[in-house]
Protein backbone atom coordinates (compact mmCIF):
# COMPACT_ATOMS: atom_id res chain seq x y z
CA UNK A 1 0.00 0.00 0.00
CA UNK A 2 1.07 3.58 -0.63
CA UNK A 3 2.73 5.01 2.51
CA UNK A 4 0.82 8.04 3.74
CA UNK A 5 2.10 8.86 7.22
CA UNK A 6 5.75 9.47 6.30
CA UNK A 7 7.59 11.39 3.60
CA UNK A 8 8.97 9.17 0.79
CA UNK A 9 12.71 9.40 0.07
CA UNK A 10 12.49 7.98 -3.46
CA UNK A 11 12.07 10.71 -6.04
CA UNK A 12 14.27 13.07 -4.01
CA UNK A 13 17.17 14.72 -5.82
CA UNK A 14 20.63 14.82 -4.26
CA UNK A 15 20.15 18.41 -3.09
CA UNK A 16 16.88 17.45 -1.42
CA UNK A 17 18.55 14.45 0.24
CA UNK A 18 21.25 16.83 1.54
CA UNK A 19 18.54 18.92 3.20
CA UNK A 20 17.07 15.78 4.76
CA UNK A 21 20.51 14.70 6.01
CA UNK A 22 21.13 18.10 7.53
CA UNK A 23 17.69 18.22 9.19
CA UNK A 24 18.33 14.79 10.71
CA UNK A 25 21.77 15.76 12.02
CA UNK A 26 23.59 13.45 9.60
CA UNK A 27 26.89 14.31 7.85
CA UNK A 28 26.51 15.84 4.34
CA UNK A 29 28.06 12.77 2.65
CA UNK A 30 25.17 10.60 3.87
CA UNK A 31 23.01 12.19 1.14
CA UNK A 32 25.05 10.34 -1.51
CA UNK A 33 24.90 7.17 0.55
CA UNK A 34 21.12 7.43 0.72
CA UNK A 35 20.91 8.05 -3.05
CA UNK A 36 22.99 4.92 -3.63
CA UNK A 37 20.72 2.83 -1.40
CA UNK A 38 17.58 4.20 -3.04
CA UNK A 39 18.50 4.20 -6.74
CA UNK A 40 21.39 1.76 -7.18
CA UNK A 41 20.79 -0.86 -4.50
CA UNK A 42 17.05 -0.23 -4.59
CA UNK A 43 16.30 -0.96 -0.94
CA UNK A 44 12.73 -0.91 0.32
CA UNK A 45 13.44 -0.09 3.99
CA UNK A 46 15.60 2.53 5.72
CA UNK A 47 16.94 -0.25 8.01
CA UNK A 48 18.72 -1.74 4.95
CA UNK A 49 20.89 1.41 4.64
CA UNK A 50 23.56 -0.23 6.77
CA UNK A 51 26.35 2.30 6.25
CA UNK A 52 24.22 4.93 8.01
CA UNK A 53 24.60 4.80 11.80
CA UNK A 54 21.84 3.13 13.83
CA UNK A 55 21.06 6.50 15.35
CA UNK A 56 20.77 8.16 11.91
CA UNK A 57 18.48 5.40 10.63
CA UNK A 58 16.26 5.74 13.70
CA UNK A 59 16.10 9.55 13.34
CA UNK A 60 15.40 9.27 9.59
CA UNK A 61 12.61 6.72 10.17
CA UNK A 62 10.75 9.07 12.48
CA UNK A 63 9.72 11.27 9.54
CA UNK A 64 10.70 9.45 6.35
CA UNK A 65 10.26 6.11 4.62
CA UNK A 66 11.75 4.72 1.40
CA UNK A 67 8.33 5.16 -0.18
CA UNK A 68 8.13 2.07 -2.39
CA UNK A 69 4.76 0.40 -2.92
CA UNK A 70 3.67 -2.40 -5.23
CA UNK A 71 1.04 -2.18 -7.96
CA UNK A 72 -2.40 -3.20 -6.73
CA UNK A 73 -3.51 -4.85 -9.96
CA UNK A 74 -2.06 -6.00 -13.26
CA UNK A 75 -3.32 -7.10 -16.67
CA UNK A 76 -1.07 -9.20 -18.93
CA UNK A 77 -1.41 -9.25 -22.69
CA UNK A 78 -0.60 -12.24 -24.89
CA UNK A 79 2.03 -10.02 -26.58
CA UNK A 80 3.97 -9.54 -23.30
CA UNK A 81 2.67 -6.03 -22.54
CA UNK A 82 1.67 -5.62 -18.89
CA UNK A 83 -0.51 -2.86 -17.47
CA UNK A 84 0.05 -2.09 -13.80
CA UNK A 85 -2.38 -0.18 -11.64
CA UNK A 86 -0.90 1.88 -8.79
CA UNK A 87 -2.52 3.94 -6.09
CA UNK A 88 -2.37 7.54 -7.32
CA UNK A 89 -3.73 10.68 -5.69
CA UNK A 90 -7.20 11.99 -4.86
CA UNK A 91 -8.42 8.40 -4.46
CA UNK A 92 -7.71 7.72 -8.13
CA UNK A 93 -5.53 4.92 -9.42
CA UNK A 94 -2.98 5.44 -12.15
CA UNK A 95 -1.48 3.16 -14.79
CA UNK A 96 2.03 2.23 -15.87
CA UNK A 97 2.47 0.04 -18.95
CA UNK A 98 5.43 -2.29 -19.47
CA UNK A 99 6.15 -2.90 -23.17
CA UNK A 100 8.86 -5.44 -24.05
CA UNK A 101 10.05 -5.34 -27.66
CA UNK A 102 13.11 -7.40 -28.65
CA UNK A 103 16.09 -5.69 -26.99
CA UNK A 104 13.98 -2.84 -25.62
CA UNK A 105 11.89 -2.85 -22.48
CA UNK A 106 9.91 0.37 -22.16
CA UNK A 107 7.80 1.61 -19.29
CA UNK A 108 5.10 4.15 -20.06
CA UNK A 109 4.59 6.14 -16.84
CA UNK A 110 1.80 8.43 -15.64
CA UNK A 111 2.45 11.93 -14.34
CA UNK A 112 -1.05 12.85 -13.11
CA UNK A 113 -4.18 11.12 -11.81
CA UNK A 114 -6.58 12.06 -14.60
CA UNK A 115 -5.92 15.11 -16.76
CA UNK A 116 -7.25 18.64 -17.24
CA UNK A 117 -6.76 18.76 -21.01
CA UNK A 118 -9.98 16.96 -21.92
CA UNK A 119 -8.92 15.65 -25.33
CA UNK A 120 -12.05 14.21 -26.89
CA UNK A 121 -10.48 10.86 -27.83
CA UNK A 122 -8.88 10.11 -24.45
CA UNK A 123 -10.19 7.94 -21.63
CA UNK A 124 -7.98 9.71 -19.07
CA UNK A 125 -9.35 13.08 -20.16
CA UNK A 126 -12.89 11.75 -19.65
CA UNK A 127 -12.05 10.96 -16.01
CA UNK A 128 -11.31 14.59 -15.14
CA UNK A 129 -8.36 15.78 -13.05
CA UNK A 130 -7.72 14.39 -9.59
CA UNK A 131 -4.22 15.54 -8.72
CA UNK A 132 -0.54 15.72 -9.59
CA UNK A 133 1.73 12.79 -8.89
CA UNK A 134 4.90 13.52 -6.93
CA UNK A 135 8.39 12.62 -8.18
CA UNK A 136 8.16 9.76 -5.65
CA UNK A 137 4.96 8.48 -7.32
CA UNK A 138 6.66 8.60 -10.72
CA UNK A 139 9.90 6.93 -9.60
CA UNK A 140 7.91 4.30 -7.70
CA UNK A 141 6.26 3.17 -10.95
CA UNK A 142 9.75 2.58 -12.35
CA UNK A 143 11.20 0.87 -9.27
CA UNK A 144 8.25 -1.24 -8.18
CA UNK A 145 7.20 -3.20 -11.25
CA UNK A 146 8.63 -6.76 -11.32
CA UNK A 147 10.48 -5.99 -14.59
CA UNK A 148 12.17 -2.86 -13.17
CA UNK A 149 15.75 -4.14 -13.62
CA UNK A 150 15.09 -4.96 -17.29
CA UNK A 151 13.93 -1.46 -18.28
CA UNK A 152 15.83 0.24 -21.09
CA UNK A 153 13.49 3.19 -21.81
CA UNK A 154 10.96 5.41 -20.06
CA UNK A 155 8.22 7.30 -21.87
CA UNK A 156 6.07 9.91 -20.13
CA UNK A 157 3.01 9.02 -22.17
CA UNK A 158 0.71 7.56 -19.54
CA UNK A 159 -2.07 9.38 -17.73
CA UNK A 160 -1.80 13.16 -17.50
CA UNK A 161 -0.03 15.98 -19.30
CA UNK A 162 3.61 15.99 -18.09
CA UNK A 163 4.01 19.75 -18.70
CA UNK A 164 1.10 20.34 -16.34
CA UNK A 165 3.18 18.79 -13.53
CA UNK A 166 6.59 20.01 -14.59
CA UNK A 167 8.40 20.15 -11.23
CA UNK A 168 7.65 16.52 -10.40
CA UNK A 169 8.56 15.41 -13.94
CA UNK A 170 11.85 17.37 -13.88
CA UNK A 171 12.65 15.88 -10.46
CA UNK A 172 12.05 12.36 -11.77
CA UNK A 173 14.19 13.06 -14.87
CA UNK A 174 17.02 14.32 -12.64
CA UNK A 175 16.84 11.14 -10.57
CA UNK A 176 16.88 9.04 -13.75
CA UNK A 177 19.80 10.80 -15.44
CA UNK A 178 22.26 12.02 -12.76
CA UNK A 179 25.29 9.94 -11.79
CA UNK A 180 24.07 9.68 -8.16
CA UNK A 181 20.68 8.41 -9.43
CA UNK A 182 19.99 5.85 -12.16
CA UNK A 183 22.74 7.40 -14.34
CA UNK A 184 20.73 6.81 -17.53
CA UNK A 185 21.40 8.68 -20.75
CA UNK A 186 18.56 11.18 -21.44
CA UNK A 187 18.29 9.46 -24.82
CA UNK A 188 16.46 6.65 -23.01
CA UNK A 189 13.67 9.02 -21.96
CA UNK A 190 10.85 10.53 -24.02
CA UNK A 191 8.41 13.11 -22.71
CA UNK A 192 5.14 13.53 -24.57
CA UNK A 193 3.19 16.79 -24.45
CA UNK A 194 0.28 18.64 -25.98
CA UNK A 195 2.64 21.65 -25.96
CA UNK A 196 2.21 23.94 -22.95
CA UNK A 197 4.65 26.50 -24.28
CA UNK A 198 6.37 27.93 -21.18
CA UNK A 199 6.82 24.55 -19.50
CA UNK A 200 7.89 22.90 -22.73
CA UNK A 201 10.58 25.57 -23.16
CA UNK A 202 11.84 24.87 -19.63
CA UNK A 203 11.95 21.15 -20.35
CA UNK A 204 13.86 21.78 -23.59
CA UNK A 205 16.32 24.16 -21.90
CA UNK A 206 17.02 22.12 -18.78
CA UNK A 207 17.10 18.53 -20.08
CA UNK A 208 18.16 16.62 -23.18
CA UNK A 209 15.30 14.11 -23.24
CA UNK A 210 13.48 13.25 -26.46
CA UNK A 211 10.23 15.11 -27.12
CA UNK A 212 6.95 13.81 -28.55
CA UNK A 213 4.29 16.35 -29.51
CA UNK A 214 0.61 15.45 -29.91
CA UNK A 215 -0.62 16.93 -33.17
CA UNK A 216 -3.58 14.81 -34.43
CA UNK A 217 -4.66 17.36 -37.05
CA UNK A 218 -2.85 19.95 -39.17
CA UNK A 219 -5.97 22.17 -39.26
CA UNK A 220 -6.51 24.50 -36.25
CA UNK A 221 -10.32 24.23 -36.08
CA UNK A 222 -10.25 20.48 -36.40
CA UNK A 223 -7.46 20.14 -33.85
CA UNK A 224 -9.49 22.35 -31.52
CA UNK A 225 -12.44 19.94 -31.81
CA UNK A 226 -10.15 17.10 -30.71
CA UNK A 227 -7.93 19.02 -28.29
CA UNK A 228 -9.42 22.06 -26.50
CA UNK A 229 -5.86 23.08 -25.62
CA UNK A 230 -5.41 24.32 -29.22
CA UNK A 231 -7.27 27.47 -28.12
CA UNK A 232 -4.63 28.37 -25.51
CA UNK A 233 -1.54 26.81 -27.10
CA UNK A 234 -2.04 26.83 -30.89
CA UNK A 235 0.02 24.21 -32.67
CA UNK A 236 1.69 26.88 -34.84
CA UNK A 237 3.16 28.46 -31.67
CA UNK A 238 4.34 25.07 -30.40
CA UNK A 239 6.04 24.30 -33.71
CA UNK A 240 7.59 27.80 -33.78
CA UNK A 241 9.12 27.10 -30.36
CA UNK A 242 10.39 23.67 -31.42
CA UNK A 243 11.99 25.12 -34.56
CA UNK A 244 14.52 26.90 -32.29
CA UNK A 245 15.99 23.62 -31.03
CA UNK A 246 18.32 21.09 -32.55
CA UNK A 247 16.63 17.73 -33.12
CA UNK A 248 19.22 16.42 -35.54
CA UNK A 249 21.90 15.35 -33.07
CA UNK A 250 21.47 14.82 -29.34
CA UNK A 251 17.71 14.52 -29.12
CA UNK A 252 14.76 13.43 -31.22
CA UNK A 253 11.40 15.03 -31.96
CA UNK A 254 8.39 12.82 -32.68
CA UNK A 255 5.03 14.01 -33.90
CA UNK A 256 2.18 11.88 -32.54
CA UNK A 257 -0.79 11.55 -34.88
CA UNK A 258 -3.75 9.40 -33.85
CA UNK A 259 -5.80 8.48 -36.89
CA UNK A 260 -9.59 8.69 -36.87
CA UNK A 261 -11.59 7.29 -39.77
CA UNK A 262 -13.17 9.97 -41.96
CA UNK A 263 -11.86 12.78 -39.76
CA UNK A 264 -8.11 13.23 -40.17
CA UNK A 265 -6.95 10.26 -42.23
CA UNK A 266 -7.16 11.34 -45.89
CA UNK A 267 -4.37 12.52 -48.16
CA UNK A 268 -5.44 16.15 -47.84
CA UNK A 269 -4.45 15.87 -44.18
CA UNK A 270 -1.18 14.15 -45.06
CA UNK A 271 -0.31 16.99 -47.48
CA UNK A 272 -1.20 19.69 -44.93
CA UNK A 273 0.76 17.90 -42.21
CA UNK A 274 3.81 17.68 -44.48
CA UNK A 275 3.57 21.41 -45.21
CA UNK A 276 3.29 22.19 -41.51
CA UNK A 277 6.31 20.09 -40.56
CA UNK A 278 8.52 21.25 -43.44
CA UNK A 279 11.98 22.17 -42.19
CA UNK A 280 11.43 20.62 -38.76
CA UNK A 281 13.68 17.67 -38.01
CA UNK A 282 11.10 15.17 -36.82
CA UNK A 283 9.44 11.89 -37.54
CA UNK A 284 5.72 11.18 -37.49
CA UNK A 285 4.25 8.31 -35.49
CA UNK A 286 0.88 7.27 -36.87
CA UNK A 287 -1.17 5.72 -34.08
CA UNK A 288 -4.18 3.45 -34.40
CA UNK A 289 -7.15 4.77 -32.40
CA UNK A 290 -8.60 2.37 -29.82
CA UNK A 291 -12.33 2.88 -29.45
CA UNK A 292 -13.45 4.08 -26.03
CA UNK A 293 -16.95 3.95 -24.57
CA UNK A 294 -19.19 6.94 -25.26
CA UNK A 295 -16.93 8.44 -27.93
CA UNK A 296 -18.06 8.48 -31.53
CA UNK A 297 -14.65 8.29 -33.18
CA UNK A 298 -13.72 5.42 -35.46
CA UNK A 299 -10.53 3.50 -36.13
CA UNK A 300 -8.82 4.13 -39.47
CA UNK A 301 -8.37 1.08 -41.70
CA UNK A 302 -4.90 -0.39 -42.20
CA UNK A 303 -4.80 0.49 -45.96
CA UNK A 304 -5.69 4.12 -45.20
CA UNK A 305 -2.92 4.29 -42.59
CA UNK A 306 -0.43 2.81 -45.06
CA UNK A 307 -1.48 5.29 -47.77
CA UNK A 308 -1.13 8.20 -45.31
CA UNK A 309 2.31 7.01 -44.22
CA UNK A 310 3.48 6.53 -47.81
CA UNK A 311 2.28 10.00 -48.80
CA UNK A 312 4.20 11.60 -45.91
CA UNK A 313 7.30 9.61 -46.84
CA UNK A 314 6.97 10.71 -50.49
CA UNK A 315 6.78 14.31 -49.29
CA UNK A 316 10.05 13.89 -47.40
CA UNK A 317 8.58 13.39 -43.90
CA UNK A 318 9.68 10.22 -42.14
CA UNK A 319 6.56 8.47 -40.92
CA UNK A 320 5.93 5.08 -39.36
CA UNK A 321 2.84 3.27 -38.13
CA UNK A 322 3.18 2.46 -34.46
CA UNK A 323 2.53 -1.17 -33.67
CA UNK A 324 -0.43 -1.53 -31.34
CA UNK A 325 0.43 -3.37 -28.15
CA UNK A 326 -1.70 -4.93 -25.44
CA UNK A 327 -4.99 -4.63 -27.33
CA UNK A 328 -6.45 -7.57 -25.38
CA UNK A 329 -5.85 -5.75 -22.06
CA UNK A 330 -7.50 -2.47 -23.06
CA UNK A 331 -4.56 -0.66 -24.58
CA UNK A 332 -5.95 2.87 -24.63
CA UNK A 333 -4.49 5.11 -21.94
CA UNK A 334 -6.68 5.29 -18.83
CA UNK A 335 -8.85 2.26 -19.61
CA UNK A 336 -7.69 0.00 -16.75
CA UNK A 337 -7.85 2.79 -14.17
CA UNK A 338 -11.33 3.67 -15.45
CA UNK A 339 -12.47 0.08 -15.08
CA UNK A 340 -11.07 -0.18 -11.54
CA UNK A 341 -12.85 3.05 -10.58
CA UNK A 342 -16.15 1.71 -11.95
CA UNK A 343 -15.74 -1.39 -9.74
CA UNK A 344 -15.04 0.73 -6.66
S1 LIG B 1 -4.43 12.76 -24.47
FE2 LIG B 1 -2.95 13.34 -22.88
S3 LIG B 1 -3.28 15.55 -22.64
FE4 LIG B 1 -5.09 14.77 -23.70
S5 LIG B 1 -6.59 14.31 -22.04
FE6 LIG B 1 -5.43 12.43 -22.47
S7 LIG B 1 -3.76 12.40 -20.98
FE8 LIG B 1 -4.55 14.52 -21.11
Cα angle value 204/116/208 (rounded, 5°): 15
Cα 281 to ligand 1 centre (Å)? 24
Report the distance separating Cα 284 and Cα 314, nearest Å: 13
Residue 21: the pLDDT is 97
Residue 335: the pLDDT is 58
Enumerate the β-bridge partners of residue 64: 7
Contact call for residues 91 and 201 (beta carbons, < 8 A): no
> How many angstroms from the chain centroid is the CA of residue 291?
21
Contact call for residues 202 and 162 (beta carbons, < 8 A): no
Provide the strand spans (E) within the chain.
7-8, 64-65, 73-76, 82-87, 93-101, 104-108, 112-114, 129-132, 153-156, 189-193, 210-214, 253-259, 283-288, 318-321
Domain borders along the chain are 7-65, 73-343
Residue 324: the pLDDT is 82
Contact call for residues 176 and 128 (beta carbons, < 8 A): no
Measured from the Cβ of residue 74, the count of other Cβ atoms closer than 10 Å reads 16
Question: Which CATH architecture group holds 7-65?
Answer: Orthogonal Bundle (1.10)
Residue 68: the pLDDT is 97
Measured from the Cβ of residue 295, the count of other Cβ atoms closer than 10 Å reads 16
Cα 39 to ligand 1 centre (Å)? 30
Cα 212 to ligand 1 centre (Å)? 13
The pLDDT profile of the chain, 344 residues, written as one tens digit per residue, is: 887 789 999 999 999 999 999 999 999 999 999 999 999 999 999 999 999 999 999 999 999 999 999 999 999 999 999 999 999 999 999 999 999 999 999 999 999 999 999 999 998 988 899 999 999 999 999 999 999 999 999 999 999 999 999 999 999 999 999 999 999 999 999 999 999 999 999 999 999 999 999 999 999 999 999 999 999 999 999 999 999 999 999 899 999 999 999 999 999 999 999 999 999 999 999 999 988 888 999 999 999 999 999 999 999 999 999 988 887 776 555 555 655 554 44
Which residue has its alpha carbon closest to ligand 1 atom 7? Answer: 160
Residues carrying an active site annotation? 95, 333
CATH 3.20.20.70 applies to domain 73-343: yes
Which residue has its alpha carbon closest to ligand 1 atom 4? Answer: 119
Residue 337: the pLDDT is 61
> How big is the chain by its Cα radius of gyration, in Å?
21
In our burial notation (b when 16+ CB lie closer than 10 A, e otherwise), range 228-256 reads bbbeebbbeebbebbeebebeeebbbbbb
Residue 339: the pLDDT is 54
Question: What lines the ligand 1 site, CB under 6 Å?
Answer: 115, 117-119, 122, 124-125, 159-161, 194
Amino acid sequence: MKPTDKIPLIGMTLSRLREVASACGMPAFSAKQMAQWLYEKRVTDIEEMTNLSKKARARLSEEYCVGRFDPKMEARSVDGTVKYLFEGVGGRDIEAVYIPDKERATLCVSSQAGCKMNCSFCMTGKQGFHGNLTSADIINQILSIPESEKLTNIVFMGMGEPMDNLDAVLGAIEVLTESWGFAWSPKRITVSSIGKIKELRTLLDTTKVHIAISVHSPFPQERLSLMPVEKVYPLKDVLALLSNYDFAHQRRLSVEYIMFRGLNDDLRHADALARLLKGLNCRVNLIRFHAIPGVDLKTTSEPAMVAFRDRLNELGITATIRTSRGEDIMAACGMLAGKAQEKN
